[in-house]
Amino acid sequence: MKRLLPMIGLGLALSVFLAACGTSGSANTPSTGGGGYGGGPATSATPTPTPSQTPAATPATAASVIVRQNMSLGRILADSQGRTLYIFLPEKGGRVVCTGACLTYWPLALSKTGASPAGSPGVTGQLGVIDRSGSQQLTYNTWPLYYFAGDSGPDQTKGQGVVGFGGKWLVATPGLQA
Protein backbone atom coordinates (compact mmCIF):
# COMPACT_ATOMS: atom_id res chain seq x y z
CA MET A 1 0.00 0.00 0.00
CA LYS A 2 2.88 2.41 0.76
CA ARG A 3 4.19 2.01 -2.81
CA LEU A 4 0.77 2.65 -4.34
CA LEU A 5 0.25 6.06 -2.69
CA PRO A 6 3.25 7.81 -4.33
CA MET A 7 2.09 6.52 -7.75
CA ILE A 8 -1.42 7.90 -7.19
CA GLY A 9 0.05 11.23 -6.09
CA LEU A 10 2.29 11.38 -9.20
CA GLY A 11 -0.66 10.60 -11.47
CA LEU A 12 -2.74 13.33 -9.84
CA ALA A 13 0.10 15.86 -10.13
CA LEU A 14 0.57 15.00 -13.82
CA SER A 15 -3.15 15.42 -14.46
CA VAL A 16 -3.17 18.84 -12.80
CA PHE A 17 -0.06 19.90 -14.78
CA LEU A 18 -1.55 18.85 -18.12
CA ALA A 19 -4.82 20.60 -17.36
CA ALA A 20 -2.94 23.82 -16.56
CA CYS A 21 -0.99 23.68 -19.82
CA GLY A 22 -4.14 23.44 -21.90
CA THR A 23 -5.80 20.78 -23.96
CA SER A 24 -6.77 20.52 -27.55
CA GLY A 25 -10.17 21.67 -28.65
CA SER A 26 -12.49 20.59 -31.41
CA ALA A 27 -14.56 23.73 -31.68
CA ASN A 28 -15.11 25.40 -35.01
CA THR A 29 -12.28 27.54 -36.22
CA PRO A 30 -13.09 31.22 -36.51
CA SER A 31 -14.19 32.74 -39.77
CA THR A 32 -12.35 35.83 -40.88
CA GLY A 33 -15.00 37.05 -43.26
CA GLY A 34 -12.76 37.65 -46.28
CA GLY A 35 -11.48 34.11 -46.66
CA GLY A 36 -9.27 32.76 -43.98
CA TYR A 37 -9.97 29.86 -41.77
CA GLY A 38 -13.40 28.85 -42.99
CA GLY A 39 -16.13 27.75 -40.66
CA GLY A 40 -15.71 23.98 -40.62
CA PRO A 41 -14.81 21.95 -37.57
CA ALA A 42 -11.15 21.72 -36.65
CA THR A 43 -9.35 18.47 -37.24
CA SER A 44 -7.58 16.81 -34.34
CA ALA A 45 -5.41 19.35 -32.58
CA THR A 46 -2.14 18.74 -30.83
CA PRO A 47 -2.04 19.72 -27.14
CA THR A 48 0.61 22.07 -25.81
CA PRO A 49 3.92 20.19 -25.68
CA THR A 50 4.92 18.60 -22.41
CA PRO A 51 8.32 19.31 -20.84
CA SER A 52 9.62 15.98 -22.19
CA GLN A 53 9.41 17.44 -25.71
CA THR A 54 12.28 19.68 -26.73
CA PRO A 55 11.09 23.23 -27.43
CA ALA A 56 12.91 25.45 -29.89
CA ALA A 57 16.00 26.92 -28.26
CA THR A 58 15.93 30.33 -29.91
CA PRO A 59 13.59 32.23 -32.18
CA ALA A 60 14.41 32.05 -35.88
CA THR A 61 14.85 35.08 -38.10
CA ALA A 62 12.48 35.20 -41.05
CA ALA A 63 13.86 37.09 -44.05
CA SER A 64 10.52 37.07 -45.79
CA VAL A 65 7.01 35.67 -45.63
CA ILE A 66 5.79 33.33 -48.36
CA VAL A 67 2.56 31.54 -49.21
CA ARG A 68 2.64 27.72 -49.28
CA GLN A 69 -0.01 25.23 -50.23
CA ASN A 70 -0.89 22.83 -47.39
CA MET A 71 -2.78 19.62 -48.18
CA SER A 72 -5.35 20.04 -45.39
CA LEU A 73 -5.37 23.77 -44.63
CA GLY A 74 -4.99 25.29 -48.11
CA ARG A 75 -2.85 28.41 -48.52
CA ILE A 76 -0.80 29.22 -45.40
CA LEU A 77 1.95 31.66 -44.44
CA ALA A 78 5.49 30.44 -43.85
CA ASP A 79 8.98 31.89 -43.61
CA SER A 80 11.47 31.70 -46.49
CA GLN A 81 12.63 28.26 -45.25
CA GLY A 82 9.05 26.91 -45.37
CA ARG A 83 8.47 26.91 -41.59
CA THR A 84 4.82 27.54 -40.73
CA LEU A 85 3.83 30.82 -39.06
CA TYR A 86 1.11 30.98 -36.39
CA ILE A 87 -1.15 33.51 -34.70
CA PHE A 88 -2.59 33.51 -31.17
CA LEU A 89 -6.30 34.45 -31.08
CA PRO A 90 -6.08 36.56 -27.87
CA GLU A 91 -3.63 38.83 -29.74
CA LYS A 92 -6.17 40.15 -32.26
CA GLY A 93 -5.39 43.74 -33.10
CA GLY A 94 -1.72 43.43 -32.14
CA ARG A 95 -2.19 43.06 -28.38
CA VAL A 96 0.80 41.01 -27.11
CA VAL A 97 -0.20 38.24 -24.71
CA CYS A 98 2.37 35.47 -25.29
CA THR A 99 5.28 36.19 -22.91
CA GLY A 100 7.49 34.25 -20.51
CA ALA A 101 6.96 30.46 -20.62
CA CYS A 102 4.67 30.84 -23.64
CA LEU A 103 7.68 31.84 -25.76
CA THR A 104 9.39 28.53 -24.98
CA TYR A 105 6.73 26.71 -27.01
CA TRP A 106 5.79 29.54 -29.36
CA PRO A 107 9.04 31.31 -30.40
CA LEU A 108 8.79 34.71 -32.04
CA ALA A 109 9.07 34.99 -35.81
CA LEU A 110 11.71 37.69 -35.92
CA SER A 111 12.60 40.12 -38.68
CA LYS A 112 16.17 41.05 -39.36
CA THR A 113 16.90 44.17 -37.32
CA GLY A 114 16.49 47.31 -39.39
CA ALA A 115 15.16 45.43 -42.44
CA SER A 116 11.65 45.82 -43.77
CA PRO A 117 9.85 42.48 -43.94
CA ALA A 118 9.19 41.26 -47.46
CA GLY A 119 6.29 39.21 -48.76
CA SER A 120 6.18 36.92 -51.78
CA PRO A 121 3.39 37.05 -54.37
CA GLY A 122 0.17 35.96 -52.67
CA VAL A 123 0.98 37.70 -49.37
CA THR A 124 -1.85 40.17 -49.70
CA GLY A 125 -1.86 41.59 -46.18
CA GLN A 126 0.41 44.15 -44.59
CA LEU A 127 3.67 42.92 -43.07
CA GLY A 128 5.15 44.87 -40.19
CA VAL A 129 7.19 44.54 -37.04
CA ILE A 130 6.69 45.21 -33.36
CA ASP A 131 9.43 45.72 -30.80
CA ARG A 132 9.79 42.78 -28.40
CA SER A 133 12.60 43.56 -25.91
CA GLY A 134 15.04 44.77 -28.53
CA SER A 135 13.99 42.27 -31.21
CA GLN A 136 11.67 42.92 -34.12
CA GLN A 137 8.76 40.44 -34.25
CA LEU A 138 7.01 40.03 -37.60
CA THR A 139 3.33 40.92 -37.83
CA TYR A 140 0.73 40.24 -40.51
CA ASN A 141 -2.25 42.61 -40.56
CA THR A 142 -1.26 43.56 -36.97
CA TRP A 143 -1.21 39.90 -35.77
CA PRO A 144 2.14 39.00 -34.12
CA LEU A 145 3.61 35.89 -35.83
CA TYR A 146 5.12 32.86 -34.08
CA TYR A 147 6.61 29.44 -34.76
CA PHE A 148 5.55 26.26 -32.94
CA ALA A 149 8.29 24.34 -31.12
CA GLY A 150 6.53 21.08 -31.99
CA ASP A 151 7.12 21.62 -35.73
CA SER A 152 10.49 20.06 -36.50
CA GLY A 153 10.79 21.33 -40.05
CA PRO A 154 9.17 22.90 -43.11
CA ASP A 155 5.56 22.16 -44.05
CA GLN A 156 4.56 21.01 -40.55
CA THR A 157 1.42 22.42 -38.93
CA LYS A 158 1.28 20.58 -35.60
CA GLY A 159 0.36 23.81 -33.80
CA GLN A 160 -2.94 24.23 -35.68
CA GLY A 161 -5.82 24.33 -33.21
CA VAL A 162 -3.67 23.97 -30.09
CA VAL A 163 -5.24 25.50 -27.00
CA GLY A 164 -2.75 26.70 -24.43
CA PHE A 165 -1.49 29.77 -22.57
CA GLY A 166 -4.98 31.25 -22.42
CA GLY A 167 -6.16 30.86 -26.00
CA LYS A 168 -6.18 29.05 -29.31
CA TRP A 169 -3.33 28.98 -31.85
CA LEU A 170 -3.93 28.89 -35.59
CA VAL A 171 -1.82 28.71 -38.72
CA ALA A 172 -1.59 32.16 -40.32
CA THR A 173 -3.25 32.44 -43.73
CA PRO A 174 -3.11 35.07 -46.51
CA GLY A 175 -6.78 35.99 -45.93
CA LEU A 176 -6.23 36.78 -42.24
CA GLN A 177 -8.00 40.00 -41.29
CA ALA A 178 -6.79 42.52 -38.72
- Higher-confidence residue of 131 and 53: namely 131
Residue 54 has pLDDT above 50, yes or no: no
Residue 50 has pLDDT above 70, yes or no: no
Per-residue model confidence (pLDDT) at position 148 = 98
Q: What is the mean pLDDT of the chain?
A: 75
Mean pLDDT along residues 32-40 = 36
Nearest one of 133, 131, 153 to 144, comparing CA atoms: 131
Cα separation, 93 vs 51, whole angstroms = 31
Per-residue model confidence (pLDDT) at position 134 = 86
Burial (CB count <10 Å: 0-12, 13-18, 19+), residue 74: middle
Per-residue model confidence (pLDDT) at position 116 = 79
Per-residue model confidence (pLDDT) at position 160 = 98
pTM: 0.68
Cβ atoms of residues 176 and 125 within 8 Å = yes
Other beta carbons within 10 Å of 173: 23
Cα separation, 158 vs 93, whole angstroms = 24
Cα separation, 164 vs 153, whole angstroms = 21
Mean pLDDT along residues 59-68 = 75
- Higher-confidence residue of 61 and 65: namely 65
pLDDT band at 13 (very low <50, low <70, confident <90, very high): very low
Cα separation, 15 vs 6, whole angstroms = 14
Lowest mean pLDDT among 41-50, 59-68, 122-131: 41-50
Express each pLDDT in 138-156 by its tens digit.
999 999 999 999 999 999 9
Strand spans (E) along the chain: 64-70, 74-79, 86-88, 110-111, 118-119, 127-132, 135-140, 143-144, 163-164, 167-171
Express each pLDDT in 71-92 by its tens digit.
999 999 999 999 999 999 999 9
